[in-house]
Structure 1
C-alpha cells in the first residue's frame, strides 16, 4: 500500500489532520507527524523550515518510508516543497494545500500580528483554549512566538526563491481555495508556472477559505486520489 505523510500548518498539530488521515486510511498507509514544539513535542531553541524538513526526513528513515507521497497543509506544504527542492527523490509526489510561498518583510510583519497571544486571548478565547490543549504540555504562547520569529526570518530571506522551482522534479499538485485571504491566487499560479510543466498541476477549490476545517473533505480526498 502506498504511503502518504501528512504535514500540518503553522501553530497546528497532527491532530488537526486526523479526519483526513482516517478517510485516506482506506487507500493509503497514512502517517502523521508533529513538528518540533508542536502537539506536545519537545520544544527546540527555534523553529525553522530547515529544522522541520530535517525532522520529516528523519521520520522517513526511521519508518523506512521509501518515496512516499507528502501532503502539506499551509506551512506543511512549504516544508514539503523545500524537501522536494533540496532532497530530490525522497518523496514521489507533493500535494500542497493553502501554502504561502511568497514572503517578504511586509507580508511577514502582517502575519506576525496574527500570532499575538494577547490579541487571541481577548478576541478568540475559544481558539486560545484549543491551542493550549493542542500543544500541552508546551506553552502555546511560546509556539506562537517562535512561529512569528520564523516567519519574520522568512520575510527577510525567503529560502525558496523563483530560481528554485524549475529545479523541482517531484510530481506536484498545488491546491488553493478561491476565498483564501492569506494566500493569493497570483503567487500560487506563479509557483505553478515556475515548476517543470510536465510534473506540475494546479487546482482551485471553489468557495474555499484558508482554514483546513472549512475545506470540503470529500473534494480534497478526490484530488489526492
Structure 2
C-alpha cells in the first residue's frame, strides 16, 4: 500500500530547509514533499509576491507532480496558503496548520510589519540577520523582508480567509497553535476552526511561534494522529 502524500509548506521569511528534520521524522508514514515559494530559500522572485501568487504556485506544484488526495502541513503563512487553495481545489484531502494568523486588518498588518525592519534586525538581532542571509541566498534577505511587509499590508486591506470564505472549505482541517505564540491568538484560531465546517482547534503547551523553538517530535506525533485515518 502506497504512503499518503504530505506537503510541508514554510512560512513567511522561511524556506523548506527549516523542515527537513520534520520531513525525516514523518517519512516512514508519508511520502513527504517540500518546496520553496518564489522569493524564498533562494528561489527567484516572481512578478508578484502575494498569497494569491503562492496559492497558484502550490496548485502548480500539485499538477506538475500529479498529486491527488494530498495532505498538507502548513506552518504560519503556509497554512494560510493551503487553506486558500483548499477553497477551490479538489486535490487536497486534509490540512493541518500550526501558528497561522487568521485575523488580518489594516491595524493587525501595521502591528506585524513593525517587526520587519532590516536595519533594526541587523543592529538588535544580528544572528537572525545572518540566518536570513544564509536562508535566502543568493537573494537579498532585506528585499524579501520588504516584500513580506507589502504582502501583509495587502492582506490586511483584503483578507482572503474570512467567515464567508471559510465556509467554502469542506475537507477536514486541524488548526493548531502554541500556548506561548505571541503572534497568533487563541481567539482568532478558535474562530477560524468554528467557521470552517469540518475543523478542530488544538493547542500545544509551551510552543512558541518560531518553528526552531517547536518540539518536532510532539508536532510529528500530532500530525500523524490527525492526518492518518
Class of the TM-score when normalised by the shorter of the 2 chains:
over 0.9
Aligned to 2:20: 18
Pairwise CA distance, 1:195: 1.2
Over aligned residues, Cα RMSD in angstroms? 0.9
| Residues 70-149 of structure 1: pairs in structure 2 closer than 5 A | 70-87=72-89, 89-149=90-150
Structure-2 separation of matches of 1:206 and 1:115 = 27
Q: Which 5+ residue runs of structure 1 have no aligned equivalent?
A: none
Q: Deviations 1:137-192 (Å, cap 9, x if unpaired)?
A: 11100100000000001111111111111221011011111111000000000011
Aligned to 1:204: 203
**What SS does structure 2 have at the residue aligned with 1:20?**
helix
Structure-1 separation of matches of 2:75 and 2:44 = 22
**What SS does structure 2 have at the residue aligned with 1:111?**
helix
Structure-2 separation of matches of 1:169 and 1:179 = 29
Structure-1 separation of matches of 2:215 and 2:131 = 22
Number of matched residues?
222
Q: Answer yes or no: is the 8 Å Cα contact 2:88–2:168 preserved in 1.
A: no
Runs of 4+ in 1 over 2 A off after TM superposition: none
Aligned to 2:188: 187
Q: Deviations 1:60-101 (Å, cap 9, x if unpaired)?
A: 1111111210110000000001011132x2211000000001
Q: Answer yes or no: is the 8 Å Cα contact 2:15–2:36 preserved in 1.
A: yes
Pairwise CA distance, 1:45: 3.0
Q: Which 5+ residue runs of structure 2 have no aligned equivalent?
A: 225-229
Pairwise CA distance, 1:7: 0.3
Q: Answer yes or no: is the 8 Å Cα contact 2:71–2:92 preserved in 1.
A: yes
